[in-house]
Amino acid sequence: MIFDILTLFPGMFTGPLTESILKRARQAGLIQVRLHNIRDWATDRHRTTDDAPFGGGPGMVMKPEPLAACIRAVLTLPPEAATPPPVILLTPDGEVFTQAIAQELAATERLLLVCGHYEGVDERVREALITRELSIGDYVLTGGELAAMVVVDAVARLVPGVIDAESVAEESHSDGLLEYPHYTRPAVWEGRQVPPVLVSGHHGEVAKWRRRERLRRTLLRRPDLLERAHAAGRLTPDDLAWLAGLGWAP
């Protein structure tokens, strides 16, 4: 899978892309990340990519010409595809990024991620060339670079081969529920013991415990997710009976 990242600050991506799982995925050829400096498409000697907003106000706005030229140039890069790749702007007023969106994007062969900066991007570029807008949360960052890193990380780990498929299957948000608690050796730490079922060797009981702990944790921490899971038909009769015992009713 190819990630084309359009940014004013390509150096910000050096650390995340050269460590841990993303580093191994790139080395294995499972993902490719191409960084494109938007300043390279500026036409003046100062490589200007921003200007004051019409109508006045604080801050600067990313100019349309260099950004549009960069997007169009990157879209022509190989590999060719029957359908143009999504051109995604990372912006605080975009659609909130979720695990479901990460799974959707992981099914594509290529993504263009445009990192907004300053007060934002000239609206005409958004209208003409951006096909989707994403936000990683209800807060404002200094630019879209950190948000783009989050999207790359969340999507790349869903690309087949990057992470063991079994590890992804039951983690938080994979099916609308939060993940169950995890334990490792020693079996007793500072007087706290691992739940006996996990060392019982009874795989069926372990699976039941983990499912119920997922339901319990979701009820306690994110009851809104539980409502959505129920509305989507993801809760079994056993799930509903267990939750009823905890005092939850849909």
Residue whose pair of structure tokens reads 């780990």 in the numeric block? 157
pLDDT of residue 235: 96
75: nearest Cα among 8, 148, 129, 13: 129
pLDDT of residue 176: 84
171: nearest Cα among 156, 182, 161: 182
Give the Cα separation of 197 and 167 in Å (integer). Answer: 20
Which residue numbers in the chain have pLDDT < 70?
Answer: 166-174
Task: Report the CATH superfamily, name and number, of domain 2-165.
Answer: SPOUT methyltransferase, trefoil knot domain (3.40.1280.10)
Angle between helices 203-221 and 237-245 (to 10 degrees): 60
Residue whose pair of structure tokens reads 């079996």 in the numeric block? 187
CB 63 within 8 A of CB 35: no
pTM of the model: 0.87
pLDDT of residue 80: 85
73 three-state secondary structure:
helix
pLDDT of residue 173: 65
Task: Report the CATH superfamily, name and number, of domain 175-245.
Answer: tRNA(m1g37)methyltransferase, domain 2 (1.10.1270.20)
Domain locations in the chain?
Answer: 2-165, 175-245
151: nearest Cα among 236, 94, 193: 94
pLDDT of residue 165: 72
176 three-state secondary structure:
coil
